[in-house]
Amino acid sequence: MNLFSEIRDEKENILPFDGIVNYYGVCIPFDEANRYYDKLLQHLAWKRDLVVMFGKRIETKRKVAWYGDRTYKYTYSNNTKLALPWNEVLMEIKELTEQITGESYNSCLANLYHDGSEGMAWHSDNEKELKVNGAIASLSFGAERRFSFKHKVKNNKVSIILEHGSLLLMKGTTQKHWLHRLPPTKKQFTPRVNLTFRNIIDHP
């Protein structure tokens, strides 16, 4: 079954089962979202990411930056990152996200896609450092892009367009049962900034 949906009702779960994903739509007014977009491009410590593809470590064109309450370590693709301290713009957006979603977050992974040729392959955010079944809030700025979910066993698919200034919340057992990705597209030529607010388990 291939289910395509663009749902704006914040109360509605866009997944049919085995997880909860709420699309809140545009939460940040256009001018405000523009201001954040410019600030994020300018003030985040953007660096190319490392991924493992066909057993090889590859540097991506997509850039990332990672921030948190403390210098948390986060390891994926055999690559350990240390969180940087929050800056002003991220703290402002984090507080806004906490108000809207009613959840709290202690870290943020930021992604910068320069154009539609850059995306992110199927994965779930289930690294050992992340709180199990913790809420992950995803904010989008700049170019609109499609975001897709695929069930790990049943192959159900759900897609949504992430708009400038929008918020998507993944929670419950979503990461356990579903993969997600940002597919590349030939239809976008401008950058997109994505912020995913998460909770890292704070080991003493």
Applying CB under 5 A, the residues found at the interface with Fe ion are: 125
> CB of residue 136 vs ligand AKG: minimum separation in angstroms?
8
**Beta carbon nearer to ligand AKG, 184 or 204:** 184
- What is the rounded distance in angstroms from the CA atom of residue 89 to the CA atom of residue 76? 26
> CB of residue 85 vs Fe ion: minimum separation in angstroms?
23
Q: Judged by CB under 6 A, which of 138, 159, 175, 188 binds ligand AKG?
A: 138
For the record, the structure tokens of 175 come out as: 């990461």
Residue tagged 């403390």 (tokens): 70
> CB of residue 57 vs ligand AKG: minimum separation in angstroms?
18
Q: Does 112 bind ligand AKG (CB under 6 A)?
A: no
**Beta carbon nearer to ligand AKG, 133 or 196:** 196
Q: Judged by CB under 6 A, which of 101, 111, 156, 174 binds ligand AKG?
A: 111
Return the closest-CA partner of residue 147 out of 111, 172, 95.
Answer: 111
Q: Does 130 bind ligand AKG (CB under 6 A)?
A: no
Q: Does 120 bind ligand AKG (CB under 6 A)?
A: yes
Q: Does 24 bind ligand AKG (CB under 6 A)?
A: no
Q: Which residues of 162-195 are buried (b: 16+ CB within 10 A; e: fewer)?
A: bbbbbbbbbbbebbebbbbbbebbeebeebbbbb
- With beta carbons less than 8 A apart as the criterion, state whether 143 and 190 touch: yes
> CB of residue 204 vs ligand AKG: minimum separation in angstroms?
26
Q: Which of residues 148-187 bind ligand AKG (CB under 6 A)?
A: 162, 180, 182
3-state DSSP assignment of residue 30: helix
Half-sphere exposure of residue 183: CA atoms within 13 angstroms, side-chain side: 12
- What is the rounded distance in angstroms from the CA atom of residue 19 to the CA atom of residue 22? 10
Return residues touching ligand AKG (CB under 6 A).
Answer: 109, 111, 120, 125, 138, 147, 162, 180, 182, 194, 196
